[in-house]
């Protein structure tokens, strides 16, 4: 250690530095731990739905006796209904379901045996479908149409129908390879369309048979009677699924949400809890920042005369600040390193329990990364404070310093 550093470190209080490192460590650990747990557990909520994002809700009006008796309009969304929904603060965007205005029959033939069924199609704007653009598109003249069916349909077939009818069970991969013959016909039976369908994906959340929007527009113009009817289902992209305001709005407007929402509610709750924990960690980190700033500034205050005299001898400002800066780096580095080690220990506590639930990994890296960025911020703020303090010592008058 040089003579300059020896002089400047005079009056250093190890207890205060350890106090800083400890409080910074605790703050970083809490924040890093919260981030790590959030990232690790996110998989539980997100993984089962890969094709349609969990933040999407499918909304429809409740079916009443009136609608059964023929008043179809009561379950349709008017333009003002849609506009009102779009105006809600928790809504990012709203997509309308388009229904097919024609009849659809689908048939599968496999190994000499055939199956045929009446079917229907719906479509939503393509931006709501998380499939690659190449797998989910249609242009007039194309002979193959991508189709998405609910996962439940496959389960229904595999575990209900196939056993009783003596048919083989089908995997997702297998069924995706089977060509589907689609036969479409207008209401009056005069116009027909024959195409091949291919299963492009399975969805948990959308309880319908989905085709690309472009195909729906094309087929409706070819086979439909031209009337545009209001949608009876909407797909809504919400900013925080599980928000109480959403449930309130839906029930007060007589709306239903398709599919299970418990996952998104739990995910929302998790977000809130993680948010609170991170706020506590943030507060502790902020306090540790001030503890460090205060103790370094106190130390520099005590050594003010020494600093001034060194500057009068021509010592560069950077060199005078260096012993304090390195002290800060050391403290922050130690706090971060400790918190990273503690994160590894923390993860081993819950890793076993989470793995069974299909958790994702990588939380460790995120937790340590966020803690590292925070430690850097704490160090940078203090570095700037040291530089300013040295600069102010330069401007001292000798009589002030004495």
Partner 1 sequence: MTAHIEEITLDSLLPRVFAREELPYSEVWRRKVSFRRGGRYLVESASGGGKSSLAAFITGARRDYEGKLLFDSRDASTLSIADWQELRRSHIAYLPQELSLFSELSAIDNIMLKAEICGDTDMDRVESWMERLGITFRRDYPVGRLSIGQQQRVALIRSLCQPFDFLLLDEPVSHLDEGNNRIAARIVEEETARQGAAVIAFSVGNPIMIENPEKLNL
Write out the residues near partner 1 by the rule CB under 8 A: 2-4, 7, 10, 306, 309-317, 319, 391, 394, 397-398, 402
**Residue 386 CB, nearest approach to partner 1 (Å):** 15
Taking the C-alpha atoms of 61, 63, 69 and 75 in order, what is their torsion angle to the nearest 10 degrees? 10
CA 290 centroid distance within chain: 33
**Residue 336 CB, nearest approach to partner 1 (Å):** 32
Q: Using the minimum distance from each CB to partner 1, give the nearer residue, 13 or 194.
A: 13
Q: Using the minimum distance from each CB to partner 1, give the nearer residue, 338 or 386.
A: 386
Q: Is the CB of residue 339 less than 8 Å from the CB of residue 22?
A: no
Name the DSSP class of 361.
Answer: S
CA 289, CA 298: separation in Å to the nearest integer? 14
| Of the candidates 207, 229, 233, the residue with the CA atom closest to the CA atom of residue 59 | 233
Q: Using the minimum distance from each CB to partner 1, give the nearer residue, 107 or 326.
A: 326
Q: Using the minimum distance from each CB to partner 1, give the nearer residue, 302 or 319.
A: 319
**Residue 10 CB, nearest approach to partner 1 (Å):** 7
Mark residue 49 as left, alpha or beta (left: phi above 0; alpha: psi -120 to 50; beta: remaining): beta
Sign of CA dihedral 149, 152, 157, 161: negative
**Residue 368 CB, nearest approach to partner 1 (Å):** 38
Q: Using the minimum distance from each CB to partner 1, give the nearer residue, 271 or 309.
A: 309
| Of the candidates 175, 182, 173, the residue with the CA atom closest to the CA atom of residue 142 | 182
| Of the candidates 2, 9, 8, 91, the residue with the CA atom closest to the CA atom of residue 308 | 8
Backbone angles phi, psi at 173, to 5 degrees: -65, -45
**Residue 393 CB, nearest approach to partner 1 (Å):** 11
**Residue 13 CB, nearest approach to partner 1 (Å):** 17
**Residue 330 CB, nearest approach to partner 1 (Å):** 22
- Supply 105's token pair: 């029959």
| Of the candidates 374, 389, 371, the residue with the CA atom closest to the CA atom of residue 295 | 389
Q: Using the minimum distance from each CB to partner 1, give the nearer residue, 18 or 398.
A: 398
Which residue's structure tokens are 């056993």? 163
**Residue 385 CB, nearest approach to partner 1 (Å):** 17
Q: Is the CB of residue 366 less than 8 Å from the CB of residue 33?
A: no
- Alpha-carbon separation of residue 350 from 148, 248, 343, 345, 359 (angstroms): 37, 35, 11, 9, 11
| Of the candidates 145, 228, 222, the residue with the CA atom closest to the CA atom of residue 191 | 222
């Amino acid at each position: 250690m040089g003579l300059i550093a020896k002089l400047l470190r005079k009056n250093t209080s190890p207890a205060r530095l350890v106090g800083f490192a400890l409080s910074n460590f605790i703050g970083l650990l809490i924040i890093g731990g919260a981030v790590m747990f959030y990232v690790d557990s996110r998989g539980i909520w997100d993984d089962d739905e890969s094709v349609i994002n969990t933040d999407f809700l499918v909304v429809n009006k409740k079916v009443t006796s009136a609608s059964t008796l023929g008043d179809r309009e009561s379950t349709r969304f008017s333009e003002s209904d849609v506009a009102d929904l779009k105006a809600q603060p928790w809504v990012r965007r709203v997509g309308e379901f388009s229904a097919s205005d024609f009849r659809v029959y689908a048939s599968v033939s496999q190994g000499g045996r055939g199956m045929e069924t009446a079917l229907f199609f719906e479509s939503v704007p393509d931006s709501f479908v998380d499939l690659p653009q190449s797998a989910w598109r249609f242009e007039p003249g194309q002979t193959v149409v991508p189709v998405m069916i609910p996962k439940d349909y496959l389960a229904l077939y595999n575990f209900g129908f196939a056993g009783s009818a003596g048919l083989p069970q089908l995997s997702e991969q297998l069924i995706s390879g089977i060509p589907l013959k689609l036969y479409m016909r207008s209401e009056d039976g005069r116009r027909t369309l024959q195409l091949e369908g291919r299963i492009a994906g399975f969805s948990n959340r959308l309880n319908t048979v989905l085709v690309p929007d472009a195909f729906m527009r094309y087929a409706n113009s070819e086979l439909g009677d031209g009337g545009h009817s209001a949608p009876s289902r909407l797909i809504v992209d919400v900013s925080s699924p599980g928000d109480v305001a959403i449930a309130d709005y839906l029930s007060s407007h007589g709306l239903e949400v398709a599919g299970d929402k418990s996952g998104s509610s739990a995910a929302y709750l998790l977000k809130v809890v993680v948010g609170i924990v991170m706020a506590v960690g943030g507060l502790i980190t902020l306090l540790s920042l001030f503890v460090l700033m205060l103790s370094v500034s106190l130390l520099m205050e005590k050594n003010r005369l020494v600093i001034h005299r060194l500057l009068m001898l021509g010592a560069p400002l950077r060199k005078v600040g260096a012993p304090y800066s390195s002290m800060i780096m050391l403290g922050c580095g130690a706090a971060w390193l400790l918190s990273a080690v503690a994160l590894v220990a923390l993860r081993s506590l819950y890793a076993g329990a989470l793995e069974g639930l299909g958790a994702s990994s990588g939380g460790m890296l995120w937790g340590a990364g966020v803690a590292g960025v925070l430690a850097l911020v704490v160090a940078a703020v203090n570095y700037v404070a040291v530089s300013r303090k040295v600069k102010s010592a330069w401007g001292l008058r000798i009589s002030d310093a004495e």
